[in-house]
Amino acid sequence: MSEATPPEVTPRSGGTTLVRAAVAAIEAATGRGPLEISDFRGTPCLRVDAHSVVAACQSLRDASALDFALLVDLTAVDWSGCRPGCEPRFDVIYQLMSLTRNERLFLAVGVPSDDPTVPSVIGLWHAAGFLEREVFDLMGIRFDGHPDLRRLVLPEDWQGHPLRKEYPLRGDDRP
């Protein structure tokens, strides 16, 4: 493995250059690099803190060497069932794609259970509107700055967030 590739990353072809360019763009925008660099099935994953997620996303979108102009998906994971007692409890995952380079990248943001809030990226990608609403509805993670953060899938009077690990498996047991 070359010294230019972080030891924990074994990206598919072209990935090494992509990771270096993404790290440089995030460092330039936020003043620090990603908190962690990993790889999921050949796709690089960079972890940043919640306070710098908008700047990191904007740098990945606007850097001509990267051009991650498409937000493919935005989802969340509740780790409490897999890693009990760990913080941050949640991860918000942004799946980005560069159509000009035909490359994908995951950006992960840890979200604590006591204040499950991250800044909205709707100002960068309009597609984030419904994706953030879905995560809010099903996981209870709030997105600061979202202009219309309300339930998307479930009725407005629904209690709880059904994709959280503590949510009862049977509907009649819900709070």
Write down the domain spans for the chain.
15-161
**Predicted model pTM:** 0.87
**DSSP secondary structure, 92-161, as one string:** EEEEEEETTTTEEEEEEEEE-SSS-EEE--TTT-TTHHHHHHHHHHHH--EEET-TT---SSS-TT--S-
Please name the CATH architecture into which domain 15-161 falls: 2-Layer Sandwich (3.30)
Position 85 scores a pLDDT of: 73
pLDDT by position in tens, the chain (length 175)? 344 444 344 444 446 889 999 999 999 999 999 999 999 898 999 999 999 999 999 999 999 999 999 999 999 999 987 877 788 999 999 999 999 999 999 999 999 999 999 999 999 999 999 999 999 999 999 999 999 999 999 999 999 999 998 888 776 555 5
The separation between CA 170 and the C-alpha centre of its own chain, rounded to angstroms, equals: 29
